[in-house]
Amino acid sequence: MNEQTTRALGAVAVALAAASVLMTAPASAEHFEGLAVATWGDHRAEGNRERNRYRHPIETLTFLGVAPTMTVAEVSPGGGWYTEILAPYLREQGKLYAAAYDPQSEGEYYRNSASRFREKLAAHPEVYDKVALTVFEPPSKLEVAPDGSADVVLTFRNMHGWLRNDTARAALDAMHRALKPGGVLGVVQHRGQPGNPAHRSGDEGYLDQNYVIGFIEAAGFELVDSSEINANPADPKDHSVGVWALPPSLELGDQDRERYLRIGESDRMTLKFVKR
């Protein structure tokens, strides 16, 4: 038995145990095995498998109801941490749209991010050859997937950026258009202090969970469930540079580094909406 298979089988056992707690629709053993193999596969970039313990991808995708036969859109995939899992999981029976930045963007940051993401996909065609790339850079570039085509739209830790740039409503409207009637919007976001006005702007990365729910519901979605899968009660949410003090950013360098490593990654809300 090779190392990858051993890791995957161990992850299946963890996922099956987690699934007994998650109040979701039943899923097959093949579902968990497929997610586990994708999550622990050797195709993953250096350091990304180690972050599974913070991001709980098997439990998160199971909670959000992602299945291998679905059409799924991942919005603003960044460096592709979740793309590494979704692409092989959906490759044979489903479809993945990656709504990423414009390689011709006027902004250097967006151009560079788009180039790195596309280079990542091109480097491993055996994993990513069936990923459909769309251009998503709100408020003007709003491709997600063909209208009414997606069973699930996913976005991970992006709401704060859209709120900070005043593009959140445009982003949500585009995701709403991409979903089938009754389709699922899954949102994972750094969770701030309830009622804290600073945790509504997005400037610190953290957002008030109730504020996020209200904002998304106002865009034509209905919250149907939430989960504490990605909670971290050790996160005090009071860092001088916001969420970026924590891993993986560790923006403060050696300053209080050991403390931030002990805290781990941020406390996060995990929200499941349906399109009204």
- CA angle centred on 185, ends 183 and 190, rounded to 5°: 170
Helix (H) or strand (E) holding 74: strand 71-75
How far is the first Cα of the chain from the last one, in angstroms, to the nearest whole number? 47
Tell me the CA distances in angstroms from 2 to 5, 7, 34, 40, 41, one per residue in order. 5, 9, 16, 12, 12
**CA angle (211, 154, 173) in 5-degree steps:** 60
In the chain, what is the greatest distance between 2 CA atoms, to the nearest angstrom? 53
Please determine, for residue 105, whether its predicted confidence score (pLDDT) is greater than 90.
yes
What confidence score (pLDDT) does residue 4 get?
54
Gap between the Cα atoms of 208 and 201, Å rounded: 10
Q: What is the mean pLDDT of the chain?
A: 92
- 66 compared with 4, residue with greater pLDDT: 66
pLDDT, tens digit, 9 for 90 and up, residues 198-254: 999 999 999 999 999 999 999 999 999 999 999 999 999 999 999 999 999 999 999
What is the percent of the chain where pLDDT is above 70? Answer: 90
- Count the Cβ atoms, other than its own, within 10 Å of residue 82: 22
**DSSP class per residue in 101-120:** --TT-SSHHHHHHHHHHHHH
Q: Are residues 69 and 33 in contact, defined by beta-carbon separation less than 8 angstroms?
A: no
